Amino acid sequence: MKIYRNISALITPIGKSALRGTAMRRNVMTVRNACMIVDDRGTIIDAGSEKEIGGRTFEEEIDCKGLLALPGFVDSHTHAVFMGERSSEFCMRAEGKSYQEIAAMGGGIRSSVEHVRNSSATEIADYSQKFVRNALSLGTTTMEIKSGYGLSAESEIALLEAAKRVGELTGMEVLRTWLGAHAVPAGKKQSLYVQELVSEQLPEVIGRHAAEFCDVFCDEGYFTNDEAEEICVAARAAGLKIKLHADELADTSGAALAVKLGSYSADHLLKISDAGILALAGSDRTVATLLPITALCIRSAYAPARKMIESGCAVAVATDCNPGSSMSENMQLAISLAVIGMGMSPEEALSAATLNGAAAVDRASTHGSIEKGKRADFALYDIPSLSYLPYHIGVSDIAAVVKNGRIVSGIL
């Protein structure tokens, strides 16, 4: 048993499920002069004021030196294992080319596929681990990682194995998502590829226990709603949980489909309709996962976060870390953009980056907040208040990151 003492303020959302609407702000608690008691398995035994719970000695006492504690970020949408970089596309976009135009020129997802197909799982993990290590040092303690740059049974499995390996190499808790339906491989007919996903890739993923979730890029120019439904229904029947890329490039009623499929999240939602917002507000499971760094990079308007929150949706924020449209593993930047670009309050953005991110990966009962019974995943910052986090744009004031009760990055 150990105690983390001398925390100037402990700020955390409270709950074991996603916070919806006004609760995203209301259910954020601040305790001044706080401490946290953690058992040997990394579970929080108690968290609160020194006065109330800190009045005895412990085997190990850690002085947090007056730093401010926030829950570790749960980055619930990333493509953080890949090969090769695409900075030339970044420049083309800056000059005005669209995501679709770049894809048509041979860039986009397919260019990453070429790099991945020429690499082993070990090579992919070696290349990608630096991004995941960065994320950990920037306060992310749980990260969802998708495949989707292999687009064949063999290469998708290599990516999912690389994701597992990256977790072992870095200490990040990695949750894996099979995204075989990210794009159609060059030279293959779309309908045949959908059949291949269901009859070849899915059984391989299940047989190797390679993923917990299935995701589909359901959007204009990618997979149709009918195709997404066919793939997700098969994946669900095989035991995978569902996530969905939805309404990013066009409104295709993807959000409503996500709710219908019992998806844990509908992600992107840049073009979501009012009907889509209503569907998400009425769901007791599907989290609206917003990816503001992507909106910034593809020069799109941000998702209508205010409207979603005011309608009662549960909103999460994630990085979408990937080599094409969001080359960043920095959740604090996503939080800054959530505040600056989407009009969220710092409290709402914190709930979105922690507890609601955990709900988007079915971990809200154990992760995403600093509460009795949850994992001791948190970070300590040299900042005077929560609002200082989004305010200090692009710079981290993080001092140490704690995963399962142990300091895994930084020093105290």
Cβ-based nearer residue to Zn ion, 11 or 151 = 151
Q: Which residues lie below 8 Å from residue 307, measured CB to CB, with a gap of 6+?
A: 274, 277
What's the CA angle centered on 132, arms 228 and 71, to 5 degrees? Answer: 90
Closest CB to Zn ion among 161 and 320? 320
Minimum Å gap between C-beta 290 and Zn ion is 12
Report CA Rg, the chain. 20
Q: Which stretch binds Zn ion (CB under 5 A): 49-57, 98-106, 319-327, 350-358?
A: 319-327
The H helix count followed by the E strand count for the chain is: 18, 15
Contact by Cβ (8 Å): 172, 377: no
- Is the CB of residue 37 less than 8 Å from the CB of residue 94? no
- Closest residue to Zn ion using C-beta atoms: 320
Which region among 13-21, 114-122, 222-230, 312-320 touches Zn ion (by CB under 5 A)? 312-320
CA distance 38 to 406: 10
Q: Which is nearer to Zn ion, 156 or 320 (CB)?
A: 320
The helix (H) or strand (E) run that includes residue 135 is: helix 121-137
CA distance 359 to 315: 10
HEC profile for 153-208?
Answer: HHHHHHHHHHHHHHHHHHCCEEEEEEEEECCCCCCCCHHHHHHHHHHHHHHHHHHC
Note the residue count of the chain: 412
Q: How far is the CB of 283 from Zn ion (least distance, A)?
A: 20
Give the residue with the Cβ less far from Zn ion, 35 or 298: 298
User: Nearer Cβ to Zn ion, position 19 or 298?
Assistant: 298
Span near Zn ion by CB under 5 A; candidates 30-38, 99-107, 296-304, 317-325: 317-325
How many residues bind Zn ion (CB under 5 A)? The answer is 1
How far apart are alpha carbons 127 and 139 in whole angstroms?
21
Q: How far apart are CA 124 and CA 101, in angstroms?
A: 28
Which span (48-56, 270-278, 303-311, 320-328) binds Zn ion, by CB under 5 A?
320-328
**Considering the complex, what minimum distance in angstroms separates the CB of residue 114 from Zn ion?**
19
Tokens 């509908």 correspond to what residue?
A: 266
- Identify whether the C-beta of residue 341 lies closer than 8 Å to the C-beta of residue 302: yes
Residue closer to Zn ion by CB (options 320, 377) is 320
Tell me how far, at minimum, the Cβ of 175 lies from Zn ion, in Å. 14
List the x/- string, 99-128, binding to Zn ion by CB under 5 A.
------------------------------
The nearer residue to Zn ion, 227 or 320, going by C-beta atoms, is: 320
CB of 326 to Zn ion, least distance (A): 8
CB of 10 to Zn ion, least distance (A): 32
Is the distance from CB of 147 to CB of 160 less than 8 angstroms?
yes
From the list 16-24, 314-322, 329-337, 383-391, the region that binds Zn ion by CB under 5 A is 314-322
Shortest gap between Cβ of 258 and Zn ion (angstroms)?
14
Tell me which DSSP letter residue 367 carries: S
Cα separations (Å) of 409 from 76, 108, 171, 274, 335? 20, 33, 10, 42, 21
Q: Single out the residue of 358, 293, 382 nearest to residue 141, CA to CA.
A: 358
Closer to Zn ion by CB, 320 or 362: give it: 320
Listed ranges 111-119, 236-244, 256-264, 315-323: which one lies at the site for Zn ion (CB under 5 A): 315-323
12 versus 112: smaller Cβ distance to Zn ion: 112
Q: How far is the CB of 295 from Zn ion (least distance, A)?
A: 12
Do residues 253 and 239 make contact, with C-beta atoms less than 8 angstroms apart?
no
Q: How far is the CB of 320 from Zn ion (least distance, A)?
A: 5
**Candidate ranges 15-23, 43-51, 60-68, 318-326; the one touching Zn ion (CB under 5 A):** 318-326
Residues 5-44 that bind Zn ion (CB under 5 A): none
- For Zn ion, give the closer residue by CB, 227 or 267: 267
Cα–Cα distance for residue pair 257/41, rounded to 1 Å: 39
Nearest residue (CB) to Zn ion, 230 versus 320: 320
For residue 218, the minimal CB distance to Zn ion (Å) is: 11
Task: State the minimum distance, in angstroms, from the CB of residue 245 to Zn ion.
Answer: 6
- Residues 368, 357: contact at Cβ < 8 Å? yes
Choose the stretch contacting Zn ion; rule: CB under 5 A; options: 151-159, 160-168, 274-282, 313-321: 313-321
Interacting residues toward Zn ion by CB under 5 A: 320
